[in-house]
Amino acid sequence: MLKTNFVIKVFAVVICMCSLSAIAQTQKRIKTIIVDAGHGGKDFGAHGGYEGGLNSYEKNVTLEISNKLVAELRKQLPDVKIVPTRTTDIYQSPPEKANIANENHGDLFLCIHADAVNLKTGRRQIGTHQETRYHVKYKGKGRRRQKISTPYTVTVPTYEYYKIGSQRNGTSIWLFAAHKTSEKLKAVMNNEDIQIESGIDSAYNTIDFDSPEGRIKAKIYADRYQKKSIKLATLVDEEIDKTDRPALGLNQRQVGIWVLQATNMPAILIETGFITNHDDERYINSEKGQQELAECITRAVKKYKEEIDHTSAAAVAKPAENNEPAEKYTDRAKNVLKRIDLTQSDFKVDLYDDGDIDGDIVSVYYNGKNILSNKKLTEKPLSLNLSADPDKTENELVIYAENEGSIAPNTALMIVTEGDTRTEVRITADAKKNGVVLFTKK
C-alpha cells in the first residue's frame, strides 16, 4: 500500500509539472514579470536585532526594494506587464505567491529577500554590585551536629549581554535545485550559519532532491527553465559586481525554496544584503541603496529580455526556401544516436520539439533524399510514413539543424511506431553534426 501511494504521488507530480510545462511551451517573448517582496504581515523574516543595528525587519526592506524595482521596470520596460505580489505589509503564504505568478502567466519571477546569520552573544562589565554569600561550618557530632551559616558581603561585576553584528556582507542570487554553491559563499558559510530563508514559512522549504519525487521535479524544471534562470541570475550578479557591493555569485541548496520550485517560469531569488551586518543593513534600508539595487536588477532584466526577444524573433521568422542540394547534410559529422531493428518494412516517424518550444527548424533526409525542408518543430508532430529499402543493410534517417532555436542545440523528440512497438529517441543536432538514426530490417 505504501509503495502504491508513493507511485501515485510521483505520478501526480509528473502530471502537474507536465501541465505547467504545456503552458510554458507557448511562452516566447518576455511579456509579464512578477516581482515578489519576500515575507510580509505576520511573517517578519530576518531581524537586524544586534547592538548598534537599526532593528529593521526583512519584510519591510523587501517591500521598499520591490516597490522601487516595480517602478523602475515599468519606467524602462513600458510594454511589459509588471505584477507585484504585494505592495503593502500583508501576509501571503509561499503557495499564494506562486499562484499569483502562475495565474498571471509570468515569464520571469524576481523574488527579493535579505540574508541573515545566527547572531553570537557577547557580554561586558557595566559596573559592580553587592552580593551576600555565606561561610558554612558545622558544630558537634552525630545527631547533635549543626550547620552554622555566617553571612558576608562581596563586590562582584555586573554584566550586560548583547548580540554581535555579523561581519558578512554582499548580495547573492539563488536558484531552484541543489548541489551547487559558489566558492565565495562557501567561504562565508564556513564561518557563520547563514539563514538563507527565515520566518514562519521556512517549513515550506522541505523538498528533498535526493528523493525520487524531488529528482523528478528537478529534472522537469531544469529541462524547461534552469538555463534561462541561470542566464538571468548571471546578468544580475554581473550588474551587482559593477557597484561597490560584494557579489557572492549564483547558488543553489539541498533544501528547496518554495517560490522557486512552484513557479512555472524562470525564477531567481535575490538576497540583497545581510540585515545582520552594520553596513549592509544601512545600505538596504537607505533610499540610495534600494534604488541602486532596483536599477541593477532592471539593467540585468533588460539585457535578458533583449536576448530572449531577439532569439524568439529569429526563431519565429519565416524560414527561407531551401534551394540547396540534398547533399548539403554531408558537410557535417554524423552523430549516430540509435540503431532500431525493424520486424516489418513500413514504419512511422513523428518529430516533436524536445524541451522548450524555442523555434527549432530542421530538414530531414532518408537514405540520401530530402523528405522535409525547413520545418519548425512544435508540440504537434511532423509525421513521416517510411519504408525500409530491401536492398540496404541500414536505412539512414538524418536530422539536419537549420538553426538552434533560442536555446542551443537543436533538439527533437522522435517517436518511431512499428506495428505495436513504439520507440523514443531524443535527437540533438547543431551546426557541426547531424543527428542520425539507423533502421535495420531483420
pLDDT band, very low/low/confident/very high, at 2 (cuts 50, 70, 90): very low
- pLDDT, one tens digit per residue, over 153-169 is 999 999 999 999 999 99
pLDDT band, very low/low/confident/very high, at 253 (cuts 50, 70, 90): low
Q: What's the chain's average pLDDT?
A: 83
- pLDDT, one tens digit per residue, over 24-41 is 343 468 999 999 999 999
Contact 310, 412 (CB under 8 A): no
Cα 400 to Cα 71, 192, 383, distances in angstroms: 46, 53, 16
The CA distance from 272 to 174, in Å, is 11
324's CB contacts (< 8 A; 6+ apart) are none
Helix (H, G, I), strand (E, B) or coil at 20: helix
Stretch among 164-178, 305-319, 361-375 having the lowest mean pLDDT: 305-319
Cell digits for 44?
Answer: 517578519
Residue 281 has pLDDT above 50, yes or no: yes
**Residues facing 364 on adjacent strands:** 372, 399
> What DSSP string describes 401-418?
ES---SSSSEEEEEEEEE
Average pLDDT rounded to a whole number, residues 382-395: 91
> What DSSP string describes 63-129?
HHHHHHHHHHHHHH-TTSEEEES-SSS----HHHHHHHHHHTT-SEEEEEEEE-B-PEEEEEEEEEE
Displacement of CA 290 from its chain's centroid (Å): 23
177 or 85, higher pLDDT? 85
Cα 247 to Cα 165, 230, 296, 439, distances in angstroms: 20, 15, 12, 53
Residue 323 has pLDDT above 50, yes or no: no
Of 260, 276, 176, nearest in space to 218 by CA: 176
357 phi, psi to nearest 5 deg:
-80, 95
Displacement of CA 188 from its chain's centroid (Å): 21
- pLDDT, one tens digit per residue, over 348-368 is 999 988 766 778 899 999 998
**Interior CA angle at 51 toward 48 and 54, to 5°?**
40
Displacement of CA 273 from its chain's centroid (Å): 19
**Residues facing 417 on adjacent strands:** 348, 422
Number of helices (H) and strands (E) in the chain: give both, helices first: 9, 17
Helix (H, G, I), strand (E, B) or coil at 382: strand
- Whole-number pLDDT of residue 131: 95
Average pLDDT rounded to a whole number, residues 202-231: 67
- Whole-number pLDDT of residue 30: 93
Cell digits for 407?
Answer: 536555446
Query: Is 0.85 surpassed by the pTM of this model?
Result: no
CATH T-level topology, domain 326-441: Immunoglobulin-like (2.60.40)
Cα 99 to Cα 16, 73, 106, 399, distances in angstroms: 14, 21, 10, 40
- Whole-number pLDDT of residue 391: 85
Contact 73, 298 (CB under 8 A): yes
Residue 235 has pLDDT above 90, yes or no: yes
Residue 116 has pLDDT above 60, yes or no: yes
Residues of the chain with CATH 2.60.40: 326-441
Domain 14-118+168-314 -> CATH class: alpha beta
Contact 275, 47 (CB under 8 A): yes
The CA distance from 316 to 374, in Å, is 12
Helix (H, G, I), strand (E, B) or coil at 4: helix
**Residues facing 384 on adjacent strands:** 349
Average pLDDT rounded to a whole number, residues 332-340: 90
Of 304, 274, 289, nearest in space to 113 by CA: 274
- Whole-number pLDDT of residue 23: 38
Largest Cα span, the chain: 121
- pLDDT, one tens digit per residue, over 366-385 is 998 999 988 999 888 899 99
Cα 175 to Cα 111, 249, 270, 377, 442, distances in angstroms: 10, 11, 9, 29, 49
